[in-house]
Amino acid sequence: MCSAPFFKYTSGDGNPPTPNLGPILKGSPITWSYVFMNPFPATLSNIVVTDNKPVGTITCPSTTLGSNVGMTCLASGTATATGLYTNTGTVTFTNSLSGLPGTYMATSSYSGVTLNIQKSTNGVAGATTALKLEQGQPVTWVYTVTNPSNVDLSSVAISDDKVGPLCMTDVSLITKIAAGASTACTAMGNAALGVYTNVLGVAVNAPLAFSVTTPNSYTGVPPQITLIKNVNGVGPASAPIQVNTGDMLTWTYVVQNLGLFDLSTVTISDSDSALTMQLGMSCGPFTLTPNEIATCTATSMAAINTFYTNTASAVASNPFDVQTSDTSHSGYSTIVNPCHTTSNGGCDIHTHCVFDPGFTSHTGPKPYYCTPCPDRGTGETFCSNVGKVCDDNDDCYPRPHVHCTAARRRGYWGEGEGEGRHLKRCRDNPCVADAYRCNRHAICVVSVGPGGEELVECVCRPPYHGPGVGEGGCV
């Protein structure tokens, strides 16, 4: 085999073809040239050019070549290697004069240059918005730059689009990152609310001018405390409960830490200063760990005839002095007790006030209520017949403390009692009160005491005697 000239060249990034291209940026387009000259006096046929590495399709202008004639075959691809890359081209042919085959080989190379850069946020490499940081939380970004190439890189500048130039505490401009070496630097900050993205950028000036970037993100979330306030077990989402005047009320305050860090100096207060005072004494400032729930209570007494609401507040701070708060409302209304008032307890003339002896709790029926009066055959249901003439069979459809009694100058007849010679009228009868009801054999006597005060007593009618009150009052 003759030593015929066969040459292989590599070109890219605007560099002319050369057997040893030197540094080229990884990922750049690249061209391989295979130059073959025929030094024989005979024509060469069946010419085929191949390569020992993947270079794509090698295209030649012809498969035959006349004596002392040359041609160039080409292949195109991308610089995929990091560091030194060498490949070998081979040309095969047949001598038309001798009929013998021939083979020539040639090599070329390039040095693939790149930078590996990595940025981590609080230890999470390549962090995305899935990374949650609490508002005010310290953030540490670590930037690592590695030169995996086989050539030194110089005049390297590292920066962050939000933080600014990096590695300033070491050198503002790194003079060199040697082949196979790494450098790292850090930056500090505090987590802001919302999605935060910053980009690491590295610029290289020699032996090639290029730059690379990589983003990093996190989502800043606020500290969060929740407060739910209820009264007697009824929460703020429900209508105000109904209670009776004087009922004891238990106010419950439930707080939870929904943040990522402990909440300290958790303080609960109420728009009712008396409740706030109780909370300060029994449930003073405390700490809640993430997801922890705490319950505080205070008590008060239901006011008379009112619709009452109050607002509670919970305030706390995370370890980074960022405050969080929440509010919750609750309330009650007192039931107006009709039979504890005058003028038929608020009942109209068609109803009268009735006590329900089956009443057992404030969540059941009301103990007093207005109920319709029966029709006395007149087509009307008037109950309020105070002052009307009545007889022994007329019960006056009693309002509280009203009964049909005989009118006397110094007293009133007891319930169901009286004498025909007295004109009976419906009137207030002090002795018919639930707590002071005369026996059926007694009369209610009202007199004036020594000091001008009104004296009320039940007096048994002869031949009966006794205290005159209740079922066994006259014997």
| H helix or E strand, kind and range, residue 116 | strand 116-121
pTM of the model as a whole: 0.60
Per-residue pLDDT of the chain (475 residues; tens, 9 = 90+): 445 589 999 987 666 778 888 888 888 899 999 999 998 999 999 999 999 999 989 999 999 999 999 999 999 999 999 999 999 999 999 999 999 999 999 999 999 999 888 989 999 988 888 999 999 999 999 988 899 998 988 888 888 888 777 665 444 456 688 899 988 888 889 999 999 998 888 888 888 888 888 899 999 999 999 999 999 988 876 677 888 777 889 999 999 999 999 999 999 999 999 999 999 888 889 999 999 999 999 999 887 657 888 899 999 999 999 999 999 988 888 765 444 333 344 444 445 455 454 444 333 334 444 555 544 444 444 443 333 334 333 444 333 334 434 333 233 333 333 333 333 444 444 554 444 566 767 776 666 667 767 667 777 877 888 877 766 778 7
Enter the tokens of residue 239: 């209508």
CA distance 449 to 361: 41
Q: Output phi, psi for 419, to 5 deg.
A: -120, 145
According to DSSP, residue 65 is labeled B
CA separation for the pair 80, 209 (Å, rounded): 18
- CATH architecture classification, 225-335: Sandwich (2.60)
Q: Cα–chain-centroid distance for residue 475?
A: 76
Write the DSSP assignment of 260-297 as a string of letters.
Answer: SS-EEEEEEEESSHHHHHHHHHHS-SEEE-TT-EEEEE
Q: In the 3-class helix/strand/coil scheme, how is 151-211 assigned residue by residue?
A: CCEEEEEEEECCCEECCCCCCCCEEEECCCCEEEEEEEEECCCEEEEEEEEEEEEECCCEE
Q: Are 393 and 418 in contact (CB under 8 A)?
A: no
Tokens of 381: 């249901």
CA angle 209, 214, 219 (to 5 degrees): 155
Look up tokens 């939870």; give the residue: 256
- Residue 413, number of CB atoms within 10 A of its CB: 25
d(CA 384, CA 80): 106
Give the SS3 label for residue 429. coil
| Beta bridge partner(s), residue 191 | none
> CA–CA separation, 17 vs 31, rounded Å?
8
Domain range summary for the chain, segments of one domain joined by +: 6-113, 116-221, 225-335, 341-460
Class of the domain covering 116-221: mainly beta
- Say if CB 81 and CB 28 are below 8 A apart: no
* Rounded-to-integer distance, Cα 321 and Cα 157, Å: 36
Q: Are 167 and 158 in contact (CB under 8 A)?
A: yes
Would strands 20-25 and 101-113 be described as parallel, antiparallel, or unpaired? parallel
Q: Name the CATH superfamily for 6-113.
A: Immunoglobulins (2.60.40.10)
| 6-113 and 116-221, same CATH topology | yes
| Backbone dihedral angles phi then psi of residue 438, each to the nearest 5 degrees | -70, 150
Structure tokens at 441: 């054999």
CA distance 96 to 117: 57
* Alpha-carbon gap, residue 259 to 325, rounded angstroms: 12
CA distance 205 to 203: 7
Q: Please tell me the distance from the alpha carbon of residue 15 to that of residue 31, in angstroms, as a whole number.
A: 10
